């Protein structure tokens, strides 16, 4: 049969066309980089800086100790001599670890105004009631002890004594140098609570000069009876001793 002269029909091959398009463009996941990777590529220096800051923050947090618990207290704002009358400028409020506080540690500055020191204080030393002239001086003394003031015949001898030392109190009742009389020991190994040696000015109760040669000792009831008014019976002297076991 003769040919009709029609052109041949082409066969449509979609799979082949799809393969050609795919091979030219590549898979979708390769054509589009991830957003995070793209941001890192564009902001590499910023990313490095953020990582360094985070590492530094973690390091500081690990090395910084937790804040310690503290308690309020009062400390000497300067070196203060024994016998000085305390004022507002003599003390400073501080915060210290609780284990540094003892019973009687003072925390209220208003309670110190006008009080007199029984012992010298170094700058920064904490204040307690046992460092003040008054009832606190007898803390730790045997029950019934009394604080007895004594005026020594030789005021300059007070310079040799400081609070805490032990002394024997001696009475000499002779009428003069030409007529000697035996000395009498009124009290043995009594602790000194306060002296006027470093006062420098009038104390809390006495005018300037009236405290010359004055000291306060802790005495038992029997010793207190013997010491009371002893300075009117003669001249008082003291002897330094080593311990109460003497």
The 3 state secondary structure assigned to the chain is CCCCCCCCCCCCCHHHHHHHHHHHHCCHHHHCCCHHHHHHHHCHHHHHHHHHHHHHHHHHHHHCCCCCCCEEEEEECCCECCCCECCHHHEEEEEECHHHCCCCECCCHHHCCCCEECCCECCCCECEHHHECCHHHHCCCCCCCEEEEEECCCHHHHHHCCCCCEEEEEEECCCECCECCCCEEEEEEEEEEEECCCCCCCCCCCCCCCCCCEEEEEECHHHHHHHCCHHHCCEEEEEEECCCCC
**DSSP-derived 3-state class of residue 133:** coil
* pLDDT at residue 169 in the model: 94
With a threshold of 0.85, does the pTM exceed it?
Answer: no
**Per the structure block, which two tokens stand in for 31?**
């054509």
Structure letter (DSSP) for residue 117: B
**Per the structure block, which two tokens stand in for 210?**
């009236």
* pLDDT at residue 86 in the model: 84
Instruction: Find out whether 232 and 215 touch, Cβ atoms under 8 Å.
Output: no
**What gap in Å lies between CA 74 and CA 91, rounded to an integer?**
6
In 78-161, beta strands by DSSP E? 91-96, 146-151
**What gap in Å lies between CA 208 and CA 210, rounded to an integer?**
6
* pLDDT at residue 144 in the model: 81
* pLDDT at residue 206 in the model: 44
* pLDDT at residue 238 in the model: 93
* pLDDT at residue 204 in the model: 43
* pLDDT at residue 185 in the model: 92
**DSSP-derived 3-state class of residue 85:** strand
- The Cβ of residue 226 has, within 10 Å, a number of other Cβ atoms equal to 17
**DSSP-derived 3-state class of residue 184:** strand
User: Average pLDDT by consecutive 10-residue portion of the chain (246 residues)?
Assistant: 53 51 49 64 75 77 66 88 79 86 82 76 86 71 84 88 89 65 87 71 44 83 88 88 64
* pLDDT at residue 57 in the model: 76
């Amino acid at each position: 049969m003769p040919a009709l002269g029609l052109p041949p029909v082409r066969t449509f091959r979609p799979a082949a066309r799809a393969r050609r398009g795919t091979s030219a463009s590549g898979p979708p996941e390769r054509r589009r980089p991830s957003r995070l990777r793209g941001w890192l590529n564009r902001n590499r220096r910023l990313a490095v800086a953020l990582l360094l800051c985070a590492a530094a923050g973690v390091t500081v947090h690990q090395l910084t100790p937790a804040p310690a618990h503290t308690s309020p207290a009062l400390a000497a704002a300067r070196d203060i001599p024994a016998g000085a009358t305390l004022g507002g400028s003599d003390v400073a409020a501080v915060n210290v670890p609780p284990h540094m506080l003892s019973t009687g540690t003072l925390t209220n500055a208003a309670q110190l105004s006008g009080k007199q020191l029984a012992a010298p204080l170094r700058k920064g030393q904490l204040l307690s009631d046992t460092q003040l002239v008054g009832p606190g001086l007898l803390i730790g003394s045997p029950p019934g002890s009394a604080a007895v003031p004594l005026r020594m015949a030789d005021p300059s001898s007070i310079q040799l004594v400081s609070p805490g030392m032990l002394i024997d109190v001696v009475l000499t009742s002779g009428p003069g140098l030409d007529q000697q009389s035996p000395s009498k020991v009124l009290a043995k190994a009594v602790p000194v609570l306060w002296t006027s040696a470093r006062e420098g000015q009038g104390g809390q109760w006495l005018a300037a000069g009236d405290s010359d040669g004055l000291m306060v000792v802790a005495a038992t009831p029997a010793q207190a009876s013997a010491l009371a008014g002893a300075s009117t019976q003669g001249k008082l002297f003291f002897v330094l001793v080593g311990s109460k076991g003497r």
